[in-house]
Amino acid sequence: MQVRLMCELPKREKTTLRSAFLVVFILLVLIAWIYDIFASPDFKDTKFAKSKFGKFISIFSLTQNWHRLNKIDLTNPDIRSLRCLQGIRFFCMYNVIAAHCVAANLSIPVVNTRYTEEISERVADRWVGSGSRHAILQTYFMLSSWLLTYQFFVDHEKKEKIKFSYLVNSFVKRYFRITPTLLILVGMCATWLVHLSRGPFWDDIIGHSYRTCRSNWWSNPIYLNNFIHPVEMCQPSLWYIAVDTQYYIVGLFILCLIWKYQEKIALILGCLWVVHVLDTYSRIYSSKIILPIYPELFYNMKFILWDHAGSVAKAPIANMSGLIAGLGFGYTFYKCRNKKLFTKRIHVILWWFASLGVSILIIPIPALFKKTTIFSNNPEVNFAIYACLSRSIYIFGTGFFIFGMTHGQGHIIRAINEWPPMYVLGRLTYSAYLLHVPIQLVKAGLKRAPNYLNDFILNWEMLSDLFLSYMAALFFTLFFELPISELKKHITSMLKNLRRNEVTCYSNKTEKCE
């Protein structure tokens, strides 16, 4: 028997410069907020609001950023139809946090090991585990490509050709929208996080995250961290951000092809789906992955996807069902956004069964792999077939359900997803996704004794993680994400005006332009 105790940590590198940068940035936000409160309440002074100093204060003011966070443009009928997407994002985020909560609580020793041994066999737990880790993330990929497709066709509605500059500008806008906050998180994990505490599990969990972030941080801003040292990734959940960014680039070029051959969209998406299914099957089968997952894998995982499963979970082609569904439903929504659908009761009934019914029933199937002889015979082949088809079936049902809600169906479910607070929670989802794993790792690292787990404790921990993640996301969004986004918009506007002035001066053949 091997006993390993790590109660003390070696001295760490000082992070004075990085700390000073974050402190100065936070102070800038607070000063702008205080000035906004006392000098020009709510920016009612139009002259002040349009001045350079007023715009600068507006960028960093908490009051102004809170208004931006809550602002909904309901004058656009398409935006009204797509409001439910923010609620969907929040509920998907809860499932992701729930799955990672289980992983975090199993990353340290567990007293009642029988509970761990049975966790992958219970049907209810498969809705949390399998649904979040494999299927529900496909919803995020689908929503991203759905909105990209809609915006792409709106922008090219009356144009005869697609300019390459449009593709470049589209990616650059996205890159500078998501990268600054990502770098702040990676910087905190590579510097501050390890200094928060010490303990018997601290170095094994937080120390590992600290070392991987310091050595592999550079792979995050180029969004190749799912290819470069994927097992030693800085924050394992960031593989999703990398794959989603890769899908954004690939999606732009696929949309160019669809825009040119719109009558062949079914053939284009069908070919992509066949490639996705064959690649996923070959990866799963060659890796010999089977279900249920045994407790030894849970104990050794420590939030790190083991080699063969990680190569599948983080592979772009293996997750392509979300991209394909988003392209298809986004195009269908664009074409049908002004049409009345689901006008007959039978259509509504079929919609419920073909969408929500399919999505719910496909998730708990892995729980039957050990309980029934149908699935236990030749498990490697059976699970490979399930894995390569389940994501597509799930995302089709989910996408069809969301499509119905954009056309007024869904009753109480649509009303909940369109509830105004859901809009704010949905907009906080990106920051919540970035922050929830570090929060869960810190909670696990702070433990001083082995865990005792049951259903009540795990559900309590899930709700706790959800609350902490969104509170941290609110702070992160108001102090970093929105100010940086507004600063980027302000700089872009200044550069456009400068370029416009230069063109005007050149056209008028003036020698000097003030």
Residues 467-479: tens digit of each pLDDT:
999 999 999 999 9
Is residue 369 in some structural domain? yes
**DSSP class per residue in 272-329:** HHHHHHHHHHHHHHHHT--SSPPHHHHHHHTT---HHHHHHHT-TGGGHHHHHHHHHH
Q: Which of 49-58, 201-210, 212-221 has the lowest mean pLDDT?
A: 49-58
Residue range 487-498, pLDDT digits in tens: 888 888 777 777
Q: At what angle do helices 379-406 and 320-336 cross, to 10 degrees?
A: 20
Boundaries of domain holding 101: 79-479
Same domain assignment for residues 209 and 310: yes
Is residue 475 in some structural domain? yes
Same domain assignment for residues 208 and 313: yes
Same domain assignment for residues 59 and 144: no
What is the structure's pLDDT at 173? 92
Same domain assignment for residues 184 and 42: no
Neighbours of 320 (CB within 10 A): 24
The answer to whether residues 68 and 486 touch, using CB atoms and an 8 Å cutoff, is: yes
Q: Between the ranges 39-48, 108-117, 127-136, where is the mean pLDDT highest?
A: 108-117
Is residue 492 in some structural domain? no
* Average pLDDT of the segment spanning 133-145: 84
Which are the contacts of 59, defined by CB distance < 8 A and separation ≥ 6? 32, 483, 486, 487, 490
What is the structure's pLDDT at 275? 92
Is residue 508 in some structural domain? no
Q: Where are the alpha helices (DSSP H) in 40-110?
A: 46-50, 52-60, 62-70, 77-81, 84-105
Whether 325 shows a pLDDT value over 70: the answer reads yes
Same domain assignment for residues 59 and 164: no
Q: How confident is the model at residue 305 (pLDDT cuts 50, 70, 90)?
A: very low
Same domain assignment for residues 165 and 281: yes
Burial of 464-477, coded b for 16+ CB within 10 Å and e otherwise, reads ebbebbbebbbebb
Which are the contacts of 21, defined by CB distance < 8 A and separation ≥ 6? none
80: left (phi over 0), alpha (psi -120 to 50) or beta: alpha
Q: How much is the mean pLDDT over the chain? A: 82
Is residue 231 in some structural domain? yes
Residue range 377-388, pLDDT digits in tens: 666 777 778 878
Is residue 214 in some structural domain? yes
What is the structure's pLDDT at 494? 78
Q: How confident is the model at residue 369 (pLDDT cuts 50, 70, 90)?
A: low
Q: How confident is the model at residue 432 (pLDDT cuts 50, 70, 90)?
A: very high
Same domain assignment for residues 53 and 187: no
Same domain assignment for residues 40 and 113: no
What is the structure's pLDDT at 256? 95
What is the count of structural domains for the chain? Answer: 2
Whether 509 shows a pLDDT value over 60: the answer reads no
Nearest to 399 by CA among 342, 345, 353, 359: 359
| Higher local confidence (pLDDT), 19 or 11 | 19
Is residue 17 in some structural domain? no
* Average pLDDT of the segment spanning 62-67: 88
Same domain assignment for residues 220 and 246: yes
Same domain assignment for residues 47 and 135: no
Same domain assignment for residues 164 and 299: yes
What is the structure's pLDDT at 462? 92
Is residue 487 in some structural domain? no
Neighbours of 165 (CB within 10 A): 8
Same domain assignment for residues 174 and 52: no
Identity of residue 34: I
